[in-house]
Amino acid sequence: MVKLIWGPPGTGKTKTVASLLYVLLKMKCRTLTCAPTNTAVLGVAERLMQHVQDCLEYDLYGLGDIVLFGNGERMKIGDHEDLFDVFLENRVDVLASCLSAKDGWKSSVQSMICLLEDPEEQYRKYLEKDESKEHDTNDNKDTNDDEEEAKGSVINDESSLSNKDGKINAHGLVDKHRKNKLWKRYVLEPLKENKKKFSKDKKSSQRRNNSRAEGESSNKEHSVLTFEKFVIKEFKWFINHLLFCLPSLYTHVPTSFMPLETANVMFRLLKNLQTLETLFATTETFERFKEVLLGIDTTNKARRFANLHESKTECLGMLKFLNEHLSLPTFSKYFKPPIRSFCLKGACLIFCTASSSSKLNMQGMPPLEMVVIDEAAQLKECESTIPLQLPGLRHAILIGDEKQLPAVVQSKICEKAKFGRRLFERLVILRHKRYLLNVQYRMHPKISLFPNNEFYQKKIMDGPNVKGEKYEKRFLTGDIFGSYSFINVSSGNEEKDERYSTRNKAEAFVVAEIVANLHKESISSKQKVRVGCISPYKAQVFSIQQILGKKYSTDVKSDFSVNVRSVDGFQGGEEDVIIISTVRCNGNGSVGFLSNLQRANVAMTRARYCLWILGNGTTLVNSGSIWKNLVIDAKARGCYFDVTDDKRLNQGTLNTTIELQHIETLLTTDSPLFQTAKWTVTFSEDFTKSIARIKDAEISKEVMTLLEKLSSGWRNSEKNNMFNNKSRNSSVLLEVYNVKHLKLIWTINILKQNSRYLQVLKIWDILPGYYIPKLAKDLDIHFGQYTVDMMNRCKYKRVERNIVFPMTWLIDGNVISTRRSSANRDQYDNLACQLEAMNLRDKPGSSRQ
């Protein structure tokens, strides 16, 4: 039987799966949960663990029924502490120590029973230097006082929780710090020793044996321990191993091998052992220790001794119960496959990727009853068949959303052959019944409105949480930074990188400025903010990452985090604020794979509180794609803004662009620098090269400020008298403005535009003053082609309230006269256009600092 659950973004797919798995765990229904990627598997497992840990009644008892397996490095399991106890490789390492036939939990229980029942016999063996089997695993503790101190170091260092504050942990559990020390001692150190064992040659092994023998002979000269010290030292060794083994067993052994009654005995035993440990530590110096321990003297005169005897008796009873009633398999410490098989065969819930599920098809594996496939709409049909072919399956539940991104197929041939087809999608096409999760709990209603209308036919409702006042968050001031907005960045320019991916530096700088402002506000308001920057193109993702650098943390647990990823990389993720850079900026409305509905859906549904979309509104409207609908919708809803509408954002973007030495992006007619300009500004190639050579950000900013002022009609009232030769054409037209130690050279030029001639600003260069005469001489050649009327047109001024406005004239043969013949008029009409393409290069041999 196959069931489909349709989960649009934010409707709680993962929570639904986790709740379902928790019920199946309680029912002891053997279930495999898989997904296309490690990230998706970890997400479901973590959500389930939240449910389980909240409902655990007996410490970690029951986690043995849950197993997560896969490649630990790829999963980055070290970053997921809450999954440490269910990860298979960690479990195998722990059980390898606890279920060892030679020195596992059984050996320690039996040794502790012998010590508490007949300490005199053990002491006699010690005195006779008779190395019994119980002491083979203890590396000759009886003859080496230094080793004895090392073995008891955990106790001596910690002195147990009860020694510190007089209290014992609830349920007799071992405190975390002590548990970590025991883990290192009984798991990590044996693993290291095992590696060393096989890497050393026979000679080094012989030397160790010789040195050990010498050490033993030297230790014989040490003083003999008293009965009391011997018992306490032996007790410390065995209790350390039991304090490690007992919690490990009830945590990692499946409940089918570990009944609750047995686990309860372990809880009580842990508590009593720690009590006994405390009493040993406080009665070590008292007389008649031996008599009390043997039960000879339990009078009220030695009340502490009486408590010691009573605790000892209780511990003995529980130790004997475990020794008789707990039957667990034993394994070799150095051969792990049987332990892995033991864990998988006894588990109720198993987590892995779909491709890894093939490893469950092993001999003797009890049949699985159900398979749950999360993110099934991302799983290729051929991949889905891997878990579905496992023997014994009776039910399959597929959870996903076919309206989000499918599986990636690199080969165009395979894609054409429908290799990427999804089982979930096929069943939907065949009209297989599916259950819709129709309430979304992630997005602010203003964010969810457009995706709901466009992709889900208004079937999704907003949850009560997103409708509340707490979801109305303002991370930045200004209407442009509301819950939902489209920010038009018309000054951008799309370009290809070396890998032919598309980027738009102007949008990248705007993103960087918004993130910087968010960071400042987060610090001042002490508000935790998670920011996500999304772009469909890898080149744009890289550009944004380069500009942001390592200023901000990517850890979502920090107070302010920023994650920059592609749309594909953000599927399944969510952040408080999402900034989308659409990149495309061209006249024909070409947007490429940006028009993909599934990709657009994913990008638009990642935000919780604020979604800000950056793009060229004209390009997107001309594309005729889903983005045209988005722009039209944003305008209708009053959510369409221009980047220049926010002066702080506009100025900050300009400063960032300059500081990062990307001034070339500002030298365009639609640059944000000239958004409110009255004059059209054009630039020579020499100026572009010169400004790029300036590394001083302050000078660059001053130049940009001056250009902005000139374009707005401002003029310097002080006349520069650098040109004494008034007969030269250049001296009449050239303007020179000071920028620190440099000079900005510009003129008024005439540009033919449609049916008119238009005055424009021409910026020729910025250079030291001693280069100006040479530049003026070069320009004389070009200005010599101007007619008197053309020169006059350049000099005409229309001034209103100290603001100079550009003048225009209709193109008419009688308007502009010429000294040349009528045959040259066509050539003259094109003169303005030719001047725009002029490249005033330095002559060979000249140089510029």
Confidence of residue 208 (pLDDT cuts 50, 70, 90): very low
**What's the CA gap between 490 and 619, in Å, rounded?**
9
Last residue of a domain, one of 268, 296, 325: 325
- Collapsed DSSP state (helix, strand, coil) of residue 790: helix
Tokens at 676, concatenated: 């409110």
- Collapsed DSSP state (helix, strand, coil) of residue 470: helix
Q: Of 190-204, 580-594, 622-636, 807-821, which has the strongest mean pLDDT?
A: 622-636
Answer yes or no: do 409 and 449 share one domain: no
Which tens digits make up the pLDDT trace of 460-476? 999 999 999 889 999 99
Q: Residue 560 in contact with residue 522, Cβ under 8 Å?
A: yes
**What's the CA gap between 41 and 34, in Å, rounded?**
6
Report yes or no on 844 lying in a domain: no
First to last CA, the chain: 79
Q: Residue 500 in contact with residue 480, Cβ under 8 Å?
A: no
Q: Is the pLDDT of residue 314 over 50?
A: yes
Answer yes or no: do 293 and 361 share one domain: no
Report yes or no on 591 lying in a domain: yes
**What's the CA gap between 339 and 335, in Å, rounded?**
8
* Domain range for 245: 100-161+175-325
Report yes or no on 669 lying in a domain: no
Tokens at 384, concatenated: 């889905």
Last residue of a domain, one of 626, 659, 692: 659
> Model-level pTM?
0.74
Percent of the chain with pLDDT over 90: 46
Q: Residue 658 in contact with residue 704, Cβ under 8 Å?
A: yes
Report yes or no on 252 lying in a domain: yes
Tokens at 306, concatenated: 């009486």
Report yes or no on 170 lying in a domain: no
Which tens digits make up the pLDDT trace of 321-332? 999 999 999 888
Cβ neighbors of 255 (< 8 A, separation 6 or more) are 61, 62, 64, 65
Q: What average pLDDT does range 723-747 have in this prediction?
A: 78
Answer yes or no: do 536 and 472 share one domain: yes
Looking at residue 630, its pLDDT comes to 97
Q: Which residue has the higher pLDDT, 88 or 842?
A: 88
Answer yes or no: do 508 and 579 share one domain: yes
Report yes or no on 166 lying in a domain: no
- How far apart, in Å, are the Cα atoms of 468 and each of 139, 464, 471, 483, 577? 66, 7, 6, 13, 18
Q: Is the pLDDT of residue 74 over 50?
A: yes
Q: Residue 349 in contact with residue 29, Cβ under 8 Å?
A: no
Answer yes or no: do 712 and 610 share one domain: no
Which tens digits make up the pLDDT trace of 758-773? 999 999 999 998 888 8
Tokens at 128, concatenated: 């006779």
Answer yes or no: do 240 and 356 share one domain: no
Looking at residue 86, its pLDDT comes to 94
Which tens digits make up the pLDDT trace of 606-644? 999 999 999 999 999 999 999 999 999 999 999 999 988
User: Out of 306-310, 333-337, 719-723, 789-793, which region has the weakest mean confidence (pLDDT)?
Assistant: 719-723
The secondary structure of 166-219, three-state, reads CCCCHHHCCCHHHHHHHHHHHHHHHHHHHHHHHHCCHHHHHHHHHHHHHHHHHH
Q: What average pLDDT does range 137-145 have in this prediction?
A: 45
Report yes or no on 671 lying in a domain: no
Confidence of residue 189 (pLDDT cuts 50, 70, 90): low
- Collapsed DSSP state (helix, strand, coil) of residue 710: helix
CATH number of the domain encompassing residue 736 = 3.30.2310.20
Answer yes or no: do 81 and 115 share one domain: no
Block residue for tokens 């002979």 = 217
Q: What average pLDDT does range 694-700 have in this prediction?
A: 87
Answer yes or no: do 115 and 254 share one domain: yes
Report yes or no on 305 lying in a domain: yes
Answer yes or no: do 184 and 76 share one domain: no
Which tens digits make up the pLDDT trace of 144-157? 444 444 344 333 43
Answer yes or no: do 655 and 743 share one domain: no
- How far apart, in Å, are the Cα atoms of 554 and each of 530, 559, 564, 575? 9, 10, 9, 12
Q: Which residue has the higher pLDDT, 203 or 705?
A: 705
Last residue of a domain, one of 407, 436, 465: 436
Which tens digits make up the pLDDT trace of 368-388? 999 999 999 999 999 999 999
Cβ neighbors of 546 (< 8 A, separation 6 or more) are none
Average pLDDT of the chain is: 82
Tokens at 780, concatenated: 């004389």
Tokens at 366, concatenated: 């009890």
Confidence of residue 756 (pLDDT cuts 50, 70, 90): confident
Answer yes or no: do 569 and 464 share one domain: yes
Q: What average pLDDT does range 393-399 have in this prediction?
A: 95
Tokens at 539, concatenated: 């080149």
Number of domains, the chain: 4
Block residue for tokens 């001056």 = 706
Q: Is the pLDDT of residue 595 over 60?
A: yes
CATH number of the domain encompassing residue 477 = 3.40.50.300
**Long-range pairs, 689-693, Cβ under 8 A, ≥24:** 690/765, 690/766, 690/767, 690/848, 691/663, 691/667, 691/766, 692/661, 692/663, 692/664
Answer yes or no: do 105 and 243 share one domain: yes
Which tens digits make up the pLDDT trace of 243-301? 889 999 999 999 999 999 999 999 999 888 888 888 777 655 555 566 666 666 555 44
Which tens digits make up the pLDDT trace of 20-67? 999 999 999 999 999 999 989 999 999 999 999 888 888 889 999 999
Q: Residue 498, Cβ neighbours under 10 Å: how many?
A: 6
Looking at residue 668, its pLDDT comes to 79
